Amino acid sequence: MRLIFLGPPGAGKGTQASILGKNLGTLHISTGELLRQERKDKTKRGVEAQSYIDRGALVPDRVVMEIVHEQLTKPEAKKGWILDGFPRNVSQADALDELLIGVSQQSYDCVISFEVPESVLVERLKERAIKEGRTDDTPEVLRNRLQSYHEETAPLIKFYGDRKKLEIINGFMSMEAVTGALKEVVDDLKKNI
């Protein structure tokens, strides 16, 4: 099973991707997590990404594509994967198509978009700022991340919708309810793969 999780910051896609990845035994690839790890390790890519992350802007496609390429060519990726937080704009989506042809001659199975009202997102992200202390959860950076989602990432909903590869999940429910809704979608997909 090869899945793409789409959604604004705070939609809960990371939490759900982690749960589903464990259940399916597939690789959970969070570009945000991987970038934060590289920043912590002060790798060349991490140092380059830092200023973008800290102002809530997208890290250059070239850096992100390198990371995704490394992940998708891992032996574990053969069993399937969940891409969480990638692609985040149309050019990354195009680059992913090409990468998948090169790596496996296979495409993704489905794109799952998590929808949550904006007012709920802002509240959730404020709570996360207190709990996790992420440097990119301050009010101004949050505004930039939401703006970057609307301008650059949200067009992907139409992009994948036009390809009839899109499922929408209501993310404004309890965590367990979202996990349940996601399981239904995945069970249906399994029947058709």
Query: Is 13 a catalytic site residue?
Result: yes
How many CB atoms lie under 10 A from the CB of residue 76?
A: 11
Distance between start and end Cα atoms, the chain: 8
* Catalytic residue (choose from 13, 36, 74, 191): 13
Residues 109 and 2 sit within 8 Å (Cβ to Cβ): yes
Question: Helix, strand, or coil here: 79?
Answer: helix
Task: Tell me which amino acid residue 96 is.
Answer: L
Measure the CA–CA gap between 134 and 136, rounded to whole angstroms: 5
Q: Is 59 in the site for ligand ADP (CB under 6 A)?
A: yes
Q: Which listed range, 54-62, 73-81, 101-109, 177-185, lies at the site for ligand ADP (CB under 6 A)? A: 54-62
Q: Is 55 a catalytic residue?
A: no
Instruction: Rule CB under 6 A: say whether 9 interacts with ligand ADP.
Output: yes
In the complex, minimum distance from the CB of residue 182 to ligand ADP, in angstroms, rounded to a whole number: 17
Decide: is 53 part of the binding site for ligand ADP (CB under 6 A). yes
64 binds ligand ADP (CB under 6 A): yes
Instruction: Determine if 46 is a binding residue for ligand ADP (CB under 6 A).
Output: no
C-alpha torsion sign, points 114, 118, 124, 130: positive
What is the Cα–Cα distance from 148 to 53, expressed in whole angstroms? 12
Q: Which of 27, 93, 145, 159 binds ligand ADP (CB under 6 A)?
A: 145
Residues at the interface with ligand ADP (CB under 6 A): 9, 31-32, 35, 52-53, 56-59, 64, 85-86, 88, 92, 136, 145
List, by residue number, the catalytic residues: 13, 88, 128, 134, 145
